[in-house]
Chain A
Amino acid sequence: MIFEVFRRERKGQPFQHAGSIDAPDEHFADVYAREQYGRRQESVALWLVPRNALHEIDDFPDEFDLKYRRVDGYSIKTRLREARDRAGTLESAAGEA
Chain B
Amino acid sequence: MDTRTQEFLEYVQDGGQVETGDWMPDEYRSKLVKFIEMHANSELMGVLPERDWILRAPTLQRKLALTAKIQDEVGHAQLIYRVVADLGKPRNACLDDLVSGRAKFHNVFHYPTKTWGDVGVIAWLVDAAAIVSQKALLKCSYAPYARIMKKICWEESFHILHGRDVILALVTGTQEQFELVQEALDRWWEPLMHFHGNQIPPDEDPMFVWRIKSQANEDARQQFLDGYVPQIRELGLEIPDSALRKDEESGRWLYTEPDWEKLRAVVTGHGPASQERLDFRRLSREQVAWVEQVVLAEAA
Contact = CB atoms under 8 A, between A and B. Distances in A.
Pairing of A with B: yes
Interface of A: 2, 17-22, 24-25, 28, 32, 35-36, 58
Interface string B287-300: 00000000110111
B148 interface: yes
B78 interface: yes
Contact of A18 (B78, B86, B151, B295): B151
- Across the A-B interface, give the 10 residue pairs with the lowest CB-CB distance, nearest first: A24-B299, A25-B299, A24-B295, A24-B296, A20-B82, A19-B148, A36-B75, A19-B79, A22-B82, A21-B82
Given A18-B151, A35-B75, A24 B298 contact: yes
A20 to B, nearest CB: 6
Contacts of A25: 298-299
Given A18-B151, A19-B82, A22-B85, A28 B299 contact: yes
B78 A36 contact: yes
Interface in B68-121: 71, 75, 78-79, 82, 85-86, 91
B262 interface: no
Interface of B is mostly: helix
Contacts of A24: 295-296, 298-300
Interface of B: 21, 71, 75, 78-79, 82, 85-86, 91, 144, 147-148, 151, 295-296, 298-300
Contacts of B79: 19, 36
B147 A19 contact: yes
Nearest to A26: B299
B296 to A, nearest CB: 5
Given A22-B85, A24-B299, A28-B299, 20 more contacts: A2-B82, A17-B147, A18-B151, A19-B79, A19-B82, A19-B147, A19-B151, A20-B86, A21-B78, A21-B82, A24-B295, A24-B296, A24-B298, A24-B300, A25-B298, A25-B299, A35-B71, A35-B75, A36-B78, A36-B79
B86 A28 contact: no
A58 B19 CA distance: 12
A35 to B, nearest CB: 7
Contacts of A58: 21
Contacts of A28: 295, 299
A28 B75 CA distance: 15
A38 to B, nearest CB: 12
Contacts of A2: 82
Contacts of B298: 24-25
A3 to B, nearest CB: 10
A25 to B, nearest CB: 4
Contacts of B147: 17, 19
26 contacts: A2-B82, A17-B147, A18-B151, A19-B79, A19-B144, A19-B147, A19-B148, A19-B151, A20-B82, A20-B86, A21-B78, A22-B82, A22-B85, A22-B91, A24-B295, A24-B296, A24-B298, A24-B299, A24-B300, A25-B298, A25-B299, A28-B295, A28-B299, A36-B75, A36-B79, A58-B21
Nearest to A27: B299
